[in-house]
Amino acid sequence: MKGVVKMKKKRLFIISAALLFAWILSAVPASAASSATATVPVTLTVVNDYRAVNVTVPAALPVYVRNGQVLTADSARITNNSKSGSVRVTAVEVRNGALKVGDFDSFCGDGKIALRINGCGTRGAGYLTLSEGAFPTVRPGRALDLSYDAKVSENTGELENVEACTVIFTISAE
């Protein structure tokens, strides 16, 4: 009988000890996160004034050949319509069209055309060599007159409104 009581007391002691231990454990502080990570994006905005460029170039550079005499328009111009910001012609390229582009200064051959724009003559298809001052800066609201001459081979026959060649102006903001 004493043994049974002793066993019960022992069991009771174990249960009490376990409960006490559990209570003690519940008082240990929980560990919290000690650092945090934050990511910040770097954003780039490129403000490009080229968007504001508003330039009018001639729709065509007409060339008339009548009785062997070449006539060109005298009203061609490049107009800077921007209210602010100057522009400048930085390159002029002449590409072959219905006629091949020849050398203006030593013009010869059949089926050819040569141009000289603001004093800068073609040497064949490709970019003109722009002389200094030929295409000065065009200020806002101003226009740059285009003075051009042409030479056309005599044996081109009768042509009407053909695209003899193409002139590409590259215009950049100053």
Q: Which residues contact other proteins by CB under 8 A?
A: 8, 12, 15-16, 19-20, 23, 26-27, 29-51, 173
Compare residues 50 and 64 and give the one whose CB is closer to other proteins.
50
Shortest gap between Cβ of 19 and other proteins (angstroms)? Answer: 5
Closer of 17 and 108 to other proteins (Cβ): 17
Element holding 69 (H helix, E strand): strand 69-72
**Minimum distance of other proteins from residue 136's CB (angstroms):** 21
Least separation, in Å, of the C-beta of 163 and other proteins?
Answer: 29
Nearer to other proteins, 16 or 137 (CB): 16
Taking the C-alpha atoms of residue 119 and residue 115, their distance in angstroms, rounded to an integer, is 9
What CA–CA distance (Å, rounded) separates 149 from 69? 11
Give least dist CB 29 to other proteins, A.
6
Give how far Cα 67 sits from Cα of 70, 79, 101, 168, Å: 8, 33, 21, 29
Distance in angstroms (rounded) separating the CA atoms of residues 127 and 169: 10
Cβ-based nearer residue to other proteins, 26 or 75: 26
Find out whether 140 and 174 touch, Cβ atoms under 8 Å: no
